[in-house]
Amino acid sequence: LVQLVESGGGSVQAGGSLRLSCAASRMLHCMGWFRKAVEKEREGVAVMNADDWQNAAASVKGRFTISRDNVNNILYLEMNNLKPEDSAMYSCAAMDIARFSGTCILDPDRYNTWGQGTQVTVSS
């Protein structure tokens, strides 16, 4: 069992920044951040694997940076130049698959371990 707990969300003005943290009981190979806006499907924001391979949604490239601290078991999402359309519930997730060591997909349906989420609200 892997437990994930997010923190760092809040309300900011457009153009502002937030850093989200996901404290994990242990780190898995594929981990990432996903978001669910009102009346929208959950979408992948950014994912990375244990070898630091990364992928991010086109809508956040150049603004968001994912990173992981494998010593302290924390997954981060640094969000800069936030836009109102970034407003969503942000969740971290992990792909709990034994002996998997490849690249990671942005599809949230491929992840099976989830945190409870942290709300991000960006005002214009």
Percent of the chain's residues with pLDDT above 90: 94
pLDDT grade for 97, boundaries at 50, 70 and 90: confident
- Return the H-helix or E-strand segment holding 51: none
- Are 75 and 64 in contact by the 8 Å Cβ rule? The answer is no
Q: What 3-state DSSP class applies to 93? A: strand
For 60-91, write each residue's pLDDT tens digit: 999 999 999 999 999 999 999 999 999 999 99
pLDDT, averaged across the chain: 96
Q: What 3-state DSSP class applies to 123? A: strand
For 35-46, write each residue's pLDDT tens digit: 999 999 999 999
pLDDT given for residue 32 in this prediction = 98
Q: Which residues pair with 34 in a beta bridge?
A: 44, 91
Q: Is the pLDDT of residue 99 over 80?
A: no
C-beta neighbour count of 113 within 10 angstroms: 17
d(C-alpha 33, C-alpha 66), whole Å: 8
d(C-alpha 39, C-alpha 49), whole Å: 30
